[in-house]
Amino acid sequence: MRTRHSKLHGTAHYTCAGADPAVKWAKSVIKGAGEAGCRSLATTAVEMITWNSGEHSTVLYKPQPLVPVAGGEVLSLVEGTVIKGKYQGHTVSSPGAQLTLNALDCATEKGVEMIDGPSTLVIL
């Protein structure tokens, strides 16, 4: 279960509830790279968020720990900072259960190629 240099890419669609009633939803693209494995994640990523208002936010996520849970799956506890656009300077938390269809791939040379799961975006 070694780590490998990995590229990270994903998309998200968020339904929003908060202090600003004009913000109803957001969509995003996230990209990053670093060392990743089934028990550790040392990647840096940037998420580009587009709000329903047409405004944008850029979030920088730095390496965060993974918390192992049952069956070889992990829980990511990701924190970042809005570095540009709407909510600039705010802290972002994005916890989520990241699941793989075959956790036993962790023990293979190829490793896990994809994880998926629900996530929440919390802007503090």
Which of 31 and 62 is assigned the larger pLDDT?
31
Residue range 51-104, pLDDT digits in tens: 999 999 999 998 776 666 666 566 667 889 999 999 999 999 887 666 666 767
Residues 85-89: contacts with CB within 8 Å, 24+ apart? 85/49, 85/55, 85/56, 85/57, 85/58, 86/49, 86/51, 86/53, 86/55, 86/56, 86/57, 87/57, 87/123, 88/57
Residue range 36-49, pLDDT digits in tens: 777 667 788 999 99
* Alpha carbon distances (Å) from 24 to 28, 51, 83: 14, 8, 21
The rounded distance, in Å, linking the Cα atoms of 111 and 123 is 33
